[in-house]
Amino acid sequence: MWHEEDRCFREIINTMNDGVVLVSPDGRIMMVNRAMEEITGYSREELLGASCAVFHCDTCLTARAEGKGHWCEIFDVGRTHRRSCFLMR
């Protein structure tokens, strides 16, 4: 049953028009959907396992500069303030 749910979840995520990224607490990219590949111009292979620093997100930069425990504020406080990320390639 879990395998079927996992397959359905992946298919839903991959059919979305918005870019979706799953990032681990240590800042490694674990999953991207097709839209994220199209939006960024990066391939899934380039992003998987890479540092999320590639996205230059100001939330992550602030958390690292303040010496917080995790890569991203969301892992420390369970939420984040509205921030913007931009891509530079």
The closest alpha carbon to 24, from 59, 60, 72, 67, belongs to: 72
User: Is 27:45 a contact under the CB 8 Å cutoff?
Assistant: no
First to last CA, the chain: 40
Q: Tell me what pLDDT residue 23 has.
A: 85
Q: Tell me what pLDDT residue 56 has.
A: 75
Is 3.30.450.20 the CATH number for 2-77? yes
Q: In a structure prediction context, what are the per-residue pLDDT tens digits for the chain, which is 89 residues long?
A: 568 888 898 899 999 999 888 888 788 899 999 999 999 899 999 999 998 888 877 666 655 666 666 566 666 665 556 666 666 66
pTM: 0.70
What are the residue boundaries of the structural domains of the chain, listed by start?
Answer: 2-77
